[in-house]
Structure 1
Amino acid sequence: MSKPAIVPETTASGIAVDPRTLERIIPESRRPDGSVRKQIKIRPGYTPQEDVRRFRGTRQTQADATALPKGHIIGWTPPPQAAAVAPASKAGMSKAQKKNEKRKEKRKEKRDEGEKVKDNWDDEDEGEAAGGTTTKTEGVHTEEQPNWAAAPDTKKGEAASADGLADKLDKLEVR
């Protein structure tokens, strides 16, 4: 039997083993007013209520030992680490696998180019005015293809000038 540590470990109730006498004791302590509590000897075999462990039957103990970790999904196994093939290790690939790998890389590059976020929204308009190759004319307002959602209705004979809009605003009533 080895001797106990110099700084004894205490239980939840404060009981420790005296290193000199190997008896269970509650060591002396200091009260808030400065006085000292005396050391208390504990009878052999006595276990205070704070130190009593919860009873667990053999089946409960066995179930706790074989329990799955919290959040574990039954039947799920993590993917193997070697499943992701690095592009550098193409030596063991067949001709078709190498071809498919190149296609996948090209698709990924194309996708990354398309996902670029512009720093300034004005850049989009400048590119189209500078001779950009845009074929999209849905939101464009021209005389041949008017966009009635963006332009005022001039077919009804109303003035499209600022004075006409000011007259319309004057007529509106706010309730």
Structure 2
Amino acid sequence: MSKPPIVPETTVAGIAVDPRTLERVIPESRRPDGTVRKQLKIRPGYTPQEDVRRFRGTRQAQMDATSLPKGHVIGWTPAPAAAVPPASKAGLSKAQKKNEKRKEKRKEKRDEPKVKDNWDDEDEGEADEGGAPAPAAAKKSTSGSHSPENPNWAAAPDAQEAEKKDAGADALADKLEKLEVQ
């Protein structure tokens, strides 16, 4: 007779074979508070409800062994994953189509560079992808900004404040020119 394994296999109910006595037991375990539960012997022939298997006749067992997985069709093989085309928009609901458009816009926005390569080029943001500047009619100004085409006097900078800033910048430039590095 062979020896039982060192680490016994347990049933669903937790019953294992004791390697020393070869009796069926529920091994001792530790409670959350740290105390130890005693090892319980299981009388011979007893099978707890958790370990009872569902009765299957010989024909039923044979049918289970030879049956196909759920949803499988005989002779049909799925197409390779690489050849599967993306889902067509014809089968999508209105909300799904809208969500697809949102995803595409988010993806495009993520792909755009956030930092300009050349800060001297002011028209870079207004140029299309080909590098040509966008036509004036295609430019959209926001409602809160001030421009000659769309005057918004509430958002327009005060002319006197702009002159003061320019005068301050000119004075600072003059001071820097007078300084000499020794």
TM-score w.r.t. the length of structure 1 is 0.43
- Greater per-residue helix proportion: 2
TM-score by length of 2: 0.41
